[in-house]
A and B are shown apart, each in its own frame.
Chain A
Amino acid sequence: MHNPQLTKDGKLKHLLTTEGLPRAILNQILDTAESFVGVAEREVKKVPLLRGKTVCNIFFENSTRTRTTFEIAAKRLSADVITLNVGTSSQSKGETILDTVDNLTAMHADMFVVRHAESGAAHFIAQHVAPHIHVINAGDGRHAHPTQGLLDVFTIRRYKPEMHNLRVALVGDVLHSRVARSEIHALTTLGIPEVRVIAPKTLLPQHVEKLGVQVYHDMNEGLKDVDVIMMLRLQNERMNGALLPSAQEYFKCYGLTQEKLALAKPDAIVMHPGPMNRGVEIDSAVADGKQSVILPQVTYGIAVRMAVMSILAGNSE
């Protein structure tokens, strides 16, 4: 079956999900991001690749970090950038997604970065845009958030280059987490030998083990000897019904504290996609501790997004 993200000759045209992406493309993104890390450390932090191109960030759902890092990434590639918080403008006046997209296309946009609360929104847009336009999914419902997944994998690779013998644990609200899905697909495609998920049954999707992960419900068991701990945000805004007794109870069982961190390998790194609920899924002492790489994740996010944009914009049918 043809992957809708790829051109006929197998190059990346849209980035909608990490699921089903060939390992070679994942590696190309990570290797290219490595080059962009150096660009950010120079006197002039820009390269001319997207000069004359217009990137539209269309955010149907709120976000600060993702929107900002996409904006910086596009600007450092010399693109012109427009950011629309559609939730607060046309959509509230009744315009459909495709009307919004058609209008931006009429303004000669070259790339759309899309965030939407509905799963499949970016995919839907990618199917309907003009052939020269590239679409990046910046988070769709519970489905996928591929650039976050990739920047997490990039961060892991930077701190733990020997990826072929790593043990990675994702902890928390896997059920509602598009980040977790994107990470799991990327990690398994790249051949990480052991990916664990640690969560209460109520916060795990059914048949999660089919994604190639090992399931733990007890943090004290699941964290044993892991190299990487990826804390997931408790998605309060996505919770319907009584999945959890209380935030305090959750912290007691699944919050990452210094004591629980001590179960992992001594040089384990701690990650979090942000925004953090301190005292709910992670203790401040850990979030600000010396094993935390949460802020480098943000920095690397720009390099990874620059890599994705510059690879896409260069690949035409």
Chain B
Amino acid sequence: MTLNPQLPNAEDLLLILEQKLAPFIQPKTAIVGIHSGGAWIAERLFPSLQQSHPDYSLVLGMLDSSFYRDDYNQRGLHAETRPSQIPFDVEEQHIILLDDVFYTGRTIRAAMNELFDYGRPASISLAVLVDRGGRELPICPQVAALELEIPPQQKLQLSRDENNQLQFTLEAHA
């Protein structure tokens, strides 16, 4: 693990993301974070989104798309799967998917497949802290707090400390 002073400040990006999300919030919107980074972001953003939209009915959910991943046959089941929590009716719901880093698009494909097993949403949008480039599928985020090219051999990793503060680190790709 290397700490790089050039790395984006995740806390700053969180504020930018919240501002950029504003036009996407509709009266009936679900904020769904993808485990684990996206879930942390969703947990942080949700209370303030609720505060800034007191008349809207916003709901929060979490997804772990391990059961839908396309690399299962190569890599097996992810060692740490967490239960998805979708405590609302997906049918006709506007959904904003949140993730930390957008890369190949494969996690998002898996997450969308899982969502459709809960019902038929009215719409799905995707918002991320960083779009690092390198997409391999025709999927792209509607909102990215930052676009930043990262070489394929490196992994941009979000972590959360004991005070719920988020930070990015660069790691060698497994």
Point out residues on A near B: beta carbons under 8 Å. 11, 28, 31-32, 34-35, 37-39, 42-44, 46-49, 310-311, 314-316
Contact = CB atoms under 8 A, between A and B. Distances in A.
Contacts of B119: 43
Contacts of B118: 42-44
A307 to B, nearest CB: 9
B73 A314 contact: yes
A11 B77 CA distance: 11
Contacts of B81: 31-32, 35
A31 B81 CA distance: 7
Contacts of A35: 64, 66-67, 81-84
A47 B80 contact: no
Contacts of A37: 83
B65 to A, nearest CB: 10
Contact of B79 (A28, A43, A316): A28
Interface of B: 64, 66-68, 72-73, 75-77, 79-86, 113-114, 116-119
Given A31-B81, A35-B82, A43 B73 contact: no
16 contacts: A34-B82, A37-B83, A38-B85, A42-B86, A43-B117, A44-B118, A47-B67, A47-B114, A48-B113, A49-B77, A311-B76, A314-B72, A314-B73, A314-B75, A314-B76, A314-B77
Contacts of B73: 314
A47 B76 contact: no
Contacts of B80: 31
A311 B84 contact: no
Most B CB within 10 A of own CB, among A28, A34, A35, A46: A35
Contacts of B86: 42
Contacts of B84: 35, 38
**Can you list the 4 inter-chain pairs with the closest CB atoms, starting with the nearest?**
A314-B76, A44-B117, A47-B67, A314-B77
Given A31-B81, A38-B83, A49 B72 contact: yes
A311 to B, nearest CB: 5
B140 to A, nearest CB: 24
Contacts of A28: 79
Contacts of A42: 86, 117-118
A22 to B, nearest CB: 13
A219 to B, nearest CB: 37
B68 A48 contact: yes
A232 B120 CA distance: 45
Contacts of B117: 42-44, 46-47
Contact of A47 (B68, B85, B116): B68
B118 to A, nearest CB: 6
A49 B67 contact: yes
A39 B64 CA distance: 11
A32 B78 CA distance: 9
A81 to B, nearest CB: 18
Contacts of A11: 76
Given A35-B64, A35-B83, 10 more contacts: A31-B82, A32-B81, A34-B82, A43-B118, A44-B118, A48-B68, A48-B113, A310-B77, A314-B76, A314-B77
